[in-house]
A and B are shown apart, each in its own frame.
Chain A
Amino acid sequence: MAEYVAVARAGDLGEGDMTAVVVDGQRILVARVEGELYAIAAVCTHGEANLDEGFLDGCNLTCPLHFGCVDVRTGLPTAPPIVKPSPVYAVKEEDGMILVSKTPQGSGVRA
């Protein structure tokens, strides 16, 4: 079982929003797309950039440094120069809070 930690109030993350949280020193991006929550590593697997400072269009997340793209649901790259999948964290909503797993639950997991 994944160990979860509360990172944000659910009401603070609206539809199409994303935010970065820090869990055990790891920066994690949490996004809400079509009502579902997703969490992936916030640091781009390609360059030294924070994906949460990029642009989220539906489930497609564009990195603000090299404009590579990743599917926020799966962590899978969708446009170069990103080629390595992002680690994916488990995420859930409970009692008005958003909880994410303390460790990645996979990398490039298909939704």
Chain B
Amino acid sequence: MTFVIVGAGLAGQRAAETLRSEGFAGRIVLLGAEPERPYDRPPLSKEVLQKEAEPDLYFRPSDWYAEQRIEFRPVAAAALDPGARVVTLANGERLGYDALLCATGTRVRRLGVPGADLDGVFYLRTLADARRIRAAMAGARRVVVVGGGFIGAEVAASCRARGLEVTLIESLPVPLGRVLGEELGRIYAGIHRERGVNLYTGETVAEFQGAGRVERVVTGSGRVCECDFAVVGIGVVPEVEWLAGSGVRIDNGIVVNEYCETNVPGVYAAGDVARWPYRGELLRVEHWDNAGNQAAVAARNMLGKGERYNPVLYFWSDQYDLRLQYVGHASTWDRIVYRGSVPARNFTAFFTRDGQVHASLSINRPREMMLCRRLIQSGKPVDLDRLGDEGVDLKLLL
């Protein structure tokens, strides 16, 4: 019995670990598109850029793979033939499988403006990318960060921590607005400005200029931002081209059901590349927690366990000395209830709809995480006034 896992990020790693911990004794091949063995990505925009020494990001020591009889191979998949149950690798090799997990994740979206290919214009997705940015930070004075999503906001904060002058350019009215909404995005705009970031919102990039290497960024409204290097974080696209012609259903990612199964028998998907039904809505989630948990469920289902994936979603983001933790998922809400102090940057914001909490965002309040999770999982209506009252123990609202 051969199980092939395509993609060696968190999802691929967790799937391989789960197969073994569940007692699968067959062959496991773990294919990675990068030369590195599997490693953890969240520190790339934080610790890797901030710390003197590069932290150890690998999930497991190199000899672990042989011990577990997991064949990690740094070669990408190029094509899939589900009829023959064969995956073709980038080196032309053909590999048969009994079950296959697609965990290829995403790649960065590129900015198509003049000068975007100049030296010193970086993107951040891989350890190699982070090392290039880290090297550019040494001796640099000014950076322009394009995109005020989570990657851009974290890179901006990391660059400030290293004493760089930072200009952050976001096309929406607020940073982090796509996920957090305008109200919380405004709070984050304030946080970045307080920490000395030149934040331009509602602003685009027209051109990167420089003699071979980027020296300045010209914005859509004609601002000129001088810089020693630039980092672009404008989102990612699912890595699905290798499935072209395979018959696997693709629609902004690989479409799977709640059991992580694609429309093709024996082919599963999990992590950032998978789009799946979450409470009636097809979602593709680009967060660490989902990648690991969904992959573990997919692995168990490859073993025939028939487990539904029904999570409470979660992500975190560290910017400056502020730890943001977001539980649940809310694309719309009618009221945000605050508990704690927004000016002191120590609060939880509950995104509520019809008196029910759909998501919560906490800043520097780790102790509330489990309670927030339970509150959202329960789906029970809550008294919003008591929810916002610090004098009322959250446990009493469960």
Q: Which residues of A contact B (CB under 8 A)?
A: 48-50, 53-55, 62, 64-67, 80-81, 83
Contact = CB atoms under 8 A, between A and B. Distances in A.
Contacts of A48: 47, 318
Contacts, number: 35
Contacts of A55: 369-370
B139 to A, nearest CB: 27
Given A65-B316, A67-B314, A81 B370 contact: no
A62 B366 CA distance: 11
Contacts of B14: 80
Given A64-B370, A67-B369, 16 more contacts: A48-B47, A53-B367, A54-B366, A54-B369, A54-B370, A55-B369, A64-B367, A65-B316, A65-B366, A66-B316, A67-B289, A67-B314, A80-B14, A80-B292, A83-B59, A83-B60
Interface of B: 14, 17, 40, 47, 59-60, 288-289, 292, 296, 314, 316, 318, 323, 325, 366-367, 369-370
Contacts of B366: 49-50, 53-54, 64-65
7 contacts: A54-B369, A62-B370, A65-B366, A66-B289, A80-B14, A80-B17, A83-B60
Please provide the 7 A-B residue pairs with the shortest distance between their CB atoms, ordered closest to farther. A64-B366, A55-B370, A53-B366, A64-B369, A53-B367, A65-B316, A62-B370
Contacts of A53: 366-367
A64 B364 CA distance: 11
A8 B145 CA distance: 48
Nearest to A53: B366
A3 to B, nearest CB: 30
A37 B122 CA distance: 51
A107 B2 CA distance: 36
Contacts of A65: 316, 323, 325, 366
A86 B316 CA distance: 23
Contacts of A62: 370
A81 B295 CA distance: 13
B65 to A, nearest CB: 14
B275 to A, nearest CB: 23
Nearest to B312: A67
Nearest to B288: A66
B324 to A, nearest CB: 11
Nearest to B60: A83
A108 to B, nearest CB: 16
